[in-house]
Structure 1
Amino acid sequence: MMMFNMWLVVMMMFIIGNMIFVSKHKHLLIVLLSLEFIVLSIFFFMLMFLNFMNNDMYMLMIFLLFSVCEGALGLSILVSMIRTHGNDYFQSFSLL
């Protein structure tokens, strides 16, 4: 019963993170935070799955490495946009 509740919490985290990612597209910072929330829910899912299968946790270290690189890249893009445009609104950017 406890394991089912943990799976339910992880799935709700993933669904809520995706809903925030899809609906809040005004600020880049909110989008980046929702992506990190999704990555955190996937990390918990992998942790429970690997623990359930009695496997080693080496793959989690690789996943954390890539998620930290993704977070650093998103933060550097955010800083670059704020320095060039002065804000992180998506409406102030031009795709042309």
Structure 2
Amino acid sequence: MTSYMYGSILLGGTTGCVSFVLNYGHLLSSLLSLEFLLLMVYWWLSSSMVYVGKDFIFMLFYLVMWCSSGSLGLCLLISSVRTHGDDYIKSYTSLGC
């Protein structure tokens, strides 16, 4: 059972990394693939904490940080769309910012 779980976590992490690399130019897709990677890390942490028998306080702290980083990413996306008109990373220049 554990080998299937860790195999699926590894496959999901690899898929998230490949998705992030392939969709690097589009900010919303990059944020979604990073959130997927954070989900895989949370799944790995929760499965390893269950088998070790440790506290779940660290996992709650991780969830709080995860939610705040997601909301910060969405706020940055909204502000960049309002100022630049699109969410393509390659269209931003250092002179225009």
Tell me the TM-score normalised to structure 1 length: 0.94
1:95 is displaced (CA, Å) by: 2.2
Q: Which moved more, 1:39-48 or 1:21-30?
A: 21-30
Q: Give the structure 1 partner of residue 86 of structure 2.
A: 87
- 2:66 corresponds to: 67
Q: Could you tell me how far apart the structure 2 residues matched to 1:61 and 1:15 are? A: 25
Displacement of 1:84 after TM fit?
Answer: 0.3
The amino acid across from 2:56 in the alignment is M
Partner residue in 1 for 2:28: 29
Q: How many residues align?
A: 95
Q: 1:22: how far off?
A: 1.5
Q: Which runs of 5+ in 1 are unaligned?
A: none
CA-to-aligned-CA distance 1:1-47 (integer Å, 9 cap, x gap): x1110110111111111111122112100000000000000000000
Question: 1:22-77 deviations in whole A, cap 9, x for unaligned?
Answer: 22112100000000000000000000110010112111000000011110110000
- Aligned residue number for residue 39 of structure 1: 38
| Aligned-CA RMSD value | 0.9
- Among all aligned residue pairs of Structure 1 and Structure 2, give the percentage whose two residues are the same amino acid: 33
Query: Runs ≥4 in structure 1, deviation > 4 angstroms?
Result: none
**TM-score (ref. length: structure 2):** 0.93
- Matched AA of 1:80: S
Unaligned runs of 5+ in 2: none
